[in-house]
Structure 1
Amino acid sequence: MKNPSAPPELKTIGLTPLIYCSNQPLFHVTRDVPLSDALAMASDFLFLAKGLTQDAAYARDSDRHAWAAHYLTELSKALVDDVVKVLEPSPARTKADSKKA
């Protein structure tokens, strides 16, 4: 049973696009994923990317390791960027901004 006085769990907002095709994002970070889970997944992706980049340094016959690492780091960056958007305070609105809304 959840504690009603506990602060709400922070979750991703799903505003971060990644991997573009024809100038359109092919994917977005999914909304409402707990931040701890998103960061754990980013860490897992980076761990795998690190291993693949090490393999790529020795595999001269193929670039598949480098491309796999590239996509894993792209996924990691998008997850971290989305988490940062949640954790950063939004800029203070000015009176001019309020009048436009």
Structure 2
Amino acid sequence: HGPANVKNIGCTPFPYHSDQAFFNVRAGIPIIDALSQSSDLLSLAKSFAEDAAFIKDTDRHAWAAHYLTVMGKALLDDVIQALIPRPARTKTESETEIPESL
């Protein structure tokens, strides 16, 4: 057991357009690999964001930084969901039994 053997759950969607996701993170990737990939994506995004701050004649660096950030964040969010246990499901009000005699 331990974090080295944990795999991501693959449910995080990204990016959105009109409330629909274009892509989802794939399930079954070891979290160490997902974290490494996320670090690479965010490092590239940082470089593009710095370029965008200095190069005013185009916005392509800013958009590249935006999409790399969205992808890196989706990977991190998916890893977090794999590492943090989900709360136990509780019965809804309609599912609970109402005693016949009150």
For the pair 1:44 / 2:46, whether they are aligned, the reply is no
In structure 1, the gaps of 5 or more residues are: 1-6
Task: Provide TM-score, normalisation by structure 1.
Answer: 0.84
Q: Distance in 1 between matches of 2:54 and 2:67?
A: 19
Kindly provide the amino acid, as one letter, of the partner of residue 41 in structure 1: Q
Equivalent pairs counted in the alignment come to: 92
4+ residue runs of structure 1 moved beyond 3 angstroms?
Answer: none
**RMSD of aligned alpha carbons:** 1.6
Larger gyration radius, structure 1 or structure 2: 2
Match of 2:69 in 1: 73
Of all paired residues, the percent bearing the same amino acid is 51
For the pair 1:24 / 2:6, whether they are aligned, the reply is no
Match of 1:3 in 2: none
Task: Provide TM-score, normalisation by structure 2.
Answer: 0.83
Q: Distance in 2 between matches of 1:17 and 1:92?
A: 23
In structure 2, the gaps of 5 or more residues are: 96-102
